Amino acid sequence: DTGVSQDPRHKITKRGQNVTFRCDPISEHNRLYWYRQTLGQGPEFLTYFQNEAQLEKSRLLSDRFSAERPKGSFSTLEIQRTEQGDSAMYLCASSLTGTGVANYGYTFGSGTRLTVV
Amino acid sequence: QKEVEQNSGPLSVPEGAIASLNCTYSDRGSQSFFWYRQYSGKSPELIMFIYSNGDKEDGRFTAQLNKASQYVSLLIRDSQPSDSATYLCAVIVDGNKLVFGAGTILRVKS
């Protein structure tokens, strides 16, 4: 297992286009998280899944954003009708979390850098 | 009030000195605390976690936690130029998600 993988690494798109990012977590991890990070800020929580269930969505996540984890393995994050303000690094992370399991933090992927022009 | 607060820096220290990075958090129920290092253009990398009051040491790094004061710190001994990065403090909130501070930029001058 080589860790958390994200694809693509970079994406340049025109305003108004739709984009989709993919994340493959560490295989034995049951939770998957999406964060967004802009320059000079820490990562901001967007949403997370436990197995295939989406358990929480941030108020930051407008209705143009949708995330899925259909079989409890990889996840996709789609942004519809992109805006320049969507330009950011989109980070995926995974963890093994549960009752009686110590939380050792999240492992992050390399991120997808989105530029909307 | 933000959930996790850090001084943005930059914090400049000479090579070989101790760098001290600080963080405060607002959720009194938080039990798990993390420090991540992030190099420019890269993703965050976990370097320390701490759950109990007191100190936890790992090599040149020491994490300190004071739950009564809602305060977490990271000490880096014998700082090296390769330690120059942004250090992110993160706290588990609502038992479910990791919330990050904005990060402190550390510059180690040789």
B30 touches chain A (CB under 8 A): no
A55 touches chain B (CB under 8 A): yes
Using CB atoms, which residue from A42, A102, A104 is nearest to B100?
Answer: A42
What pLDDT does A61 receive? 82
Residues in A closer than 8 angstroms to B96, CB to CB, are 48, 55-56
The pLDDT tens digits of the residues spanning B49-105 come to 999 999 999 999 999 999 999 999 999 999 999 999 999 999 988 877 899 999 999
The pLDDT tens digits of the residues spanning A78-99 come to 999 999 999 999 999 999 876 5
A32 touches chain B (CB under 8 A): no
Confidence tier at B1 by pLDDT (50, 70, 90): low
B44: preceding bond cis by omega (within 30 degrees): no
Tell me A8's DSSP state. -
DSSP B15-77: TTSPEEEEEEES-TT---EEEEEE-TTS--EEEEEE-SSEEEEETTEEEEEETTTTEEEEEES
The pLDDT tens digits of the residues spanning B12-49 come to 999 999 999 999 999 998 888 999 999 999 999 999 99
Confidence tier at A77 by pLDDT (50, 70, 90): very high
Q: Is B102's CB within 8 Å of A41's CB?
A: yes
B99 touches chain A (CB under 8 A): yes
What pLDDT does A34 receive? 97
